[in-house]
Structure 1
């Protein structure tokens, strides 16, 4: 499946990623808690990097992108396993699960960039980067690097496609459940909009990740 040869698909995914990135950046500027500011900023950065990858932009910074995303994944893991007294980090079972998923998202983005793993040499189609053809349109990375070893891993791509596909279904179900639950009606209007927005963008983001990994399988 080579959906990224279709300009409309590439533009749609780019819009979703940039919309999500803008939302997280806006939330980071509004937050008064340092940890939350860092988390939202990392989400915004991840979405921008994913959008840039669709168009094969700044491939020369590939290793830096992988390093930042890997560090972000570890940061969310640390929050997920932190002791309960650190209340500025993930609290409660729901919060810890949320942080673990965010860690998976960051790690998935790093893996995707590593699977591309090469600098641009070929022509990029008018509709954006065709991920299955990306392996042929980029120059070989240094031998023995992690990026090179991940470049031919269809099994890993399939696994991540399934994981993010399942995540998108879960977030869509949570969004539907939130709309129906009576508890949600007792929340403030601003709180309801915030939760709906997060569930909706998480669902769209997971769907985009699943689609992008599907082209690599």
Structure 2
């Protein structure tokens, strides 16, 4: 699927648009925690876009480490004591941080899976292709192998990818449902500056992108 230029460009545009939004939110935020969180989201989007084009493969370990650290940061926020007001507060805030921790961990896993695939399809000589470091290149190798029976990658090759595809697809439907219901929380005591509809739309778009990318890897 990722050898289709239109799809690659579309996903790249979505990721960069989401990253730009998070950077804008980081710049206008008055709270340090919000700035850090939005900056991490912007960085994750940029790394995902770079992965689509196999950019900076020499920094793969650094990318995985950074995303893993970001996942840990969101986990810390999700389980922090209520006294720490700057971190996630309330059930909804903790669930949100837990989901963002999952997103960061899934992005790190995606990069790791692309660098070290679980099972490579056999070639005409019965050996696996040497290079599977990029999504477009991996798909191109599979589609140009001489024997069709040896090129079919079974879903069992990447079981975590299948699970994450379903998880992010479910998340996308959940955010779309929340967006459709338009359950705005514009109460007088609410101090959150971000529009709820915008957040839900952004989360739905991001979850859809992650589901598509994982689905392509396991197809």
TM-score (norm 2): 0.79
Alignment length (residue pairs): 191
Compared with structure 1, are the counterparts of its residues 175 and 99 closer, same or farther at alpha carbon in structure 2 (3 Å cutoff)? Answer: same
**Residue 51, structure 1, aligned to residue 49, structure 2:** yes
Q: How far, CA to CA, are the matches of 1:52 and 1:155 in structure 2?
A: 24
Partner of residue 201, structure 1: 202
For structure 1, the residue ranges without an aligned partner over 5 or more in a row are: 137-151
C-alpha separation in 2, matches of 1:169 and 1:95: 19
Q: Which has the larger radius of gyration?
A: 2
Aligned to 1:83, what secondary structure does the other structure show?
coil
Q: Which residue of 2 aligns with 1:26?
A: 24
- 1:59/1:92 CA distance change after superposition, 3 Å: same
Corresponding residue number in structure 1 for 2:11:
13
The answer to whether the 8 Å contact 1:18/1:51 transfers is: yes
Change (3 A) 1:153 1:100: farther
Alpha carbons of structure 1 residues 157 and 131: separation in structure 2 relative to 1, 3 Å: farther
Conserved in 2, the CA contact under 8 Å of 1:116 and 1:135?
A: no
Gaps of 5+ in 2: 117-129, 143-155
1:214 counterpart = 2:215: yes
The 2-side partners of 1:4 and 1:78 are apart by 35
Judged with a 3 Å threshold, the aligned counterparts in structure 2 of structure 1 residues 154 and 21 are, in CA distance, closer, same or farther, namely same
Q: Which has the higher contact order (CA 8 A, sep 6+)?
A: 1
Cα RMSD after superposing both structures:
2.8
In structure 1, the residue corresponding to 2:84 is in which secondary structure?
A: coil
- Taking the aligned partners of 1:11 and 1:84, their CA distance within structure 2 comes to 43
Tell me the distance in 1 between the aligned counterparts of 2:174 and 2:209.
Answer: 14
**Where in structure 1 do 4 or more consecutive aligned residues deviate above 4 Å?**
121-124, 183-187
* TM norm structure 1: 0.80
